[in-house]
Structure 1
Amino acid sequence: MTTLDITHKTLTDFIYAEARLLDEQRFEDWLNLFTEDGHYWMPLAHGQTDPRLHTSLMYEDRLLLRVRVERLAGQRTFSQQPKSRCHHLLQAPTVESSAPGGEHIVRTAFHYVETRQDQQTLFAGWTTHHLVEDAGALKIRLKRVDLVNCDAAFGNIQLFM
């Protein structure tokens, strides 16, 4: 197994590329960015430290992410006709920590817009990516999405932030 040459630019380029996959609705490609034990987490409270001991807006492993991706691709998913669309506006990612051959933690502030028909919803917050080298590629072990108003009442969030 080869160790990747991980630089600050490699990590930030990964974050931008991941957001673009979501904006272009390339959900299969996006799902392939996750490790087999990867999770997508959206806490319900500020400073939440454990997704298993407290309720979260979302805490999904690869299986649940796969189900959502398949639902979004389904022709009989009537709640997605017409399909929702999204756009990520990212602040420059900050590399919080980086260990050669280990875990890299990258934090990014964002504005995210999700739209379907004439309804548009704006979310703001921060993502924290825990990235690892897996089979010669950079992969997401954990993507944590902290919304500024995480404790608000939300309608359905259809896509991935």
Structure 2
Amino acid sequence: MTQLTAQDLIDFVYHEADLLDEQRFDEWLDLFTDDGYYWMPLAHGQTDPILHASLLYEDKLLLQVRIERLAGQRTFSQQPKSRCHHLLQQPRVIHFDPNAKEHQVRTAFHYTETRGDEQTFYVGWATHHLVQDNGQLRIKLKRVDLLNCDAPFGNIQLFM
């Protein structure tokens, strides 16, 4: 990778959303570091995913299990398959230094998940903690803060 720019971080976030919308989940999973996490807090301002309950707090292994379940022939909750669409506000670079090891980008989003004739809408912010790993940007942590994180939810099938 050439000299990293703030625009590279923004482009990365858009690319990640495209992979999810196109259900290219294995490629999406490859965006995570081996020790990366996907976190969806249960409370506004939550700072600890370990000592407090979360909607989701999954490492790369758990994400892989969910991806395999989505592709399974006997996954009846996915007949018909769920689909999703991300509508992103332009990502805002929170922390960037081309010489730093970690960068942070925050993106407001509207997310729609649909299966059959049912549609579910979510609104929130995604914060990506990105690192360079072997010349590639990778996700160390993706935190998804839902506007109504403390509301009761049905099953969230895909990834925001």
TM class by smaller structure: over 0.9
Supply the AA of the counterpart residue of 2:3.
Answer: D
Matches within 5 A, 1:145-160: 145-160=144-159
Q: Percent same amino acid among aligned pairs?
A: 71
* In structure 2, C-alpha distance between the alignment counterparts of 1:6 and 1:154, rounded to whole Å: 39
Hey, which bits of structure 1, 4+ residues long, moved more than 3 A?
Answer: none
Structure 1 residue 73, shift from structure 2 partner: 1.0
TM-score for both structures, normalised by structure 1? 0.97
* In structure 2, C-alpha distance between the alignment counterparts of 1:127 and 1:73, rounded to whole Å: 25
RMSD: 0.9
Secondary structure of the structure 2 residue equivalent to 1:114? strand
Q: Is the 8 A contact 1:39 1:142 kept in 2?
A: yes
One of 63, 84, 94 as aligned partner of 1:96: 94
Secondary structure of the structure 1 residue equivalent to 2:119? strand
When the two structures are aligned, how many residues end up with a matched partner? 159
Q: Which residue of 1 aligns with 2:54?
A: 56
Q: Which residue of 1 aligns with 2:104?
A: 105
* In structure 1, C-alpha distance between the alignment counterparts of 2:86 and 2:40, rounded to whole Å: 16
Q: Which residue of 2 aligns with 1:22?
A: 20
Q: Is the 8 A contact 1:113 1:120 kept in 2?
A: yes
Q: Which residue of 2 aligns with 1:119?
A: 118
Residue ranges of structure 2 left out of the alignment (5+ in a row): none
TM-score for both structures, normalised by structure 2? 0.97
Structure 1 residue 101, shift from structure 2 partner: 4.0
Supply the AA of the counterpart residue of 2:135.
Answer: G
Supply the AA of the counterpart residue of 2:85.
Answer: H
Secondary structure of the structure 1 residue equivalent to 2:67? helix
